[in-house]
């Protein structure tokens, strides 16, 4: 299954590269625009591979009381930030991040900031679970989580943007990145909704035992917070070991 996903990505990327080269050589917009919707497929398939903070998103939503429509907003915030950071780096800061095409996508500082923010959210969730009887959520907490998790730039978007910039076709790279963002959002939204449905289903089955439900809700929120703290600690420790 994983190899099939990799193969699909390779085929779409090679086709994208061919269209960019044709456009740079004087070809028209028609062919590229006809291919552009494949960016949605590209982004959706790419988001199925390891990474993209799917586990972080699912962990947070499993330990919160966020409803489906707000869970979608969290996934959209994550998708937007994840792809946009890659575009911003490619346009303005790529020379500071990497001096080679192979290493594009390595942004240790942003990774540390991202995991640090997730760690803070995790500590807050743990304290809330311990101190309060229910896990009440501050307005905007979910969006902050999506923003923090998405700070790590999408490496494939960086590759796409870098390739387009090399061939002086920045606009085509931006358009393809925008369609990729839609695809990433589709996959992460599916993860968010499935997590909420599963969590709510468990809650429904336990409503006959309200005290047990309250305990499990608090325990789940605390556990989710601990997981986020652990992820942040491991990532920051790994970064510190490399320095």
Residue 190 banded pLDDT, cuts 50, 70, 90: very high
First to last CA, the chain: 36
For the segment 30-57, what is each residue's pLDDT rounded down to a tens digit?
Answer: 878 888 888 999 899 888 887 667 888 8
Residue 100 banded pLDDT, cuts 50, 70, 90: very low
Cα atoms in the 13 Å half-sphere on the side-chain side of 152 = 19
Which pair of structure tokens corresponds to residue 142?
A: 């979910």
Which pair of structure tokens corresponds to residue 161?
A: 């943007």
For the segment 127-176, what is each residue's pLDDT rounded down to a tens digit?
Answer: 766 665 444 555 577 888 888 888 878 888 888 888 888 888 888 889 99
Which residue is it, tokens 């393809």?
176
pLDDT exceeds 50 at position 182: yes
Residue 97 banded pLDDT, cuts 50, 70, 90: very low
Q: Exposed/middle/buried for 26, CB within 10 Å: 0-12, 13-18, 19+? A: exposed
DSSP 68-119: HHHHHHHHHHHHHHHHHHHHHIIIIIHHHH-SSSTTTT--HHHHHHHHHHHH
- CA pair distance 196, 200, nearest whole angstrom: 6
Distances (CA, A) of 57 to 33, 61, 64: 33, 6, 11
Question: Smallest Cα–Cα separation from 147: which of 179, 186, 125, 120?
Answer: 120
Which residue is it, tokens 């990474």?
51
pLDDT exceeds 70 at position 208: no
Q: Which long-range contacts (CB under 8 A, 24 or more apart) does 231-235 make?
A: 231/56, 231/115, 231/118, 231/119, 231/122, 232/115, 232/116, 232/118, 232/119, 232/122, 233/119, 235/111, 235/112, 235/115
The 3-state DSSP class for residue 78 equals: helix
What pTM does this model have? 0.73
Does 127 or 103 have the greater pLDDT score?
Answer: 127
DSSP 211-234: HHHHHHHHHHHHHHHHHHHHHHHH
Degrees, nearest 5: CA angle 153-71-151: 15
């Amino acid at each position: 299954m994983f190899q099939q996903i990799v193969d699909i990505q390779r085929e779409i990327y090679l086709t994208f590269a061919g269209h960019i080269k044709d456009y740079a050589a004087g070809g028209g917009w028609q062919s590229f625009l006809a291919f552009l919707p494949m960016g949605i497929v590209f982004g959706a398939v790419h988001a199925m591979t390891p990474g993209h903070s799917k586990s972080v998103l699912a962990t947070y939503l499993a330990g919160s009381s966020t409803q489906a429509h707000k869970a979608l907003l969290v996934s959209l915030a994550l998708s937007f930030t994840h792809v946009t950071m890659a575009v911003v780096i490619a346009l303005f800061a790529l020379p500071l991040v990497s001096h080679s095409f192979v290493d594009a996508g390595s942004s240790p500082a942003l990774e540390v900031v991202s995991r640090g923010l997730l760690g803070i959210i995790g500590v807050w969730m743990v304290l809330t679970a311990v101190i309060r009887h229910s896990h009440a959520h501050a307005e905007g907490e979910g969006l902050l989580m999506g923003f923090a998790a998405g700070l790590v730039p999408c490496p494939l978007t960086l590759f796409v943007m870098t390739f387009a910039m090399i061939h002086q076709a920045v606009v085509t790279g931006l358009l393809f990145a925008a369609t990729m963002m839609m695809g990433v959002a589709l996959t992460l939204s599916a993860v968010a909704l499935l997590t909420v449905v599963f969590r709510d289903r468990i809650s429904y089955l336990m409503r006959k035992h309200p005290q047990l439900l309250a305990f499990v809700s608090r325990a789940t929120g605390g556990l989710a917070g601990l997981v986020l703290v652990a992820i942040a600690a491991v990532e920051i420790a790994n970064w510190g070991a490399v320095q």
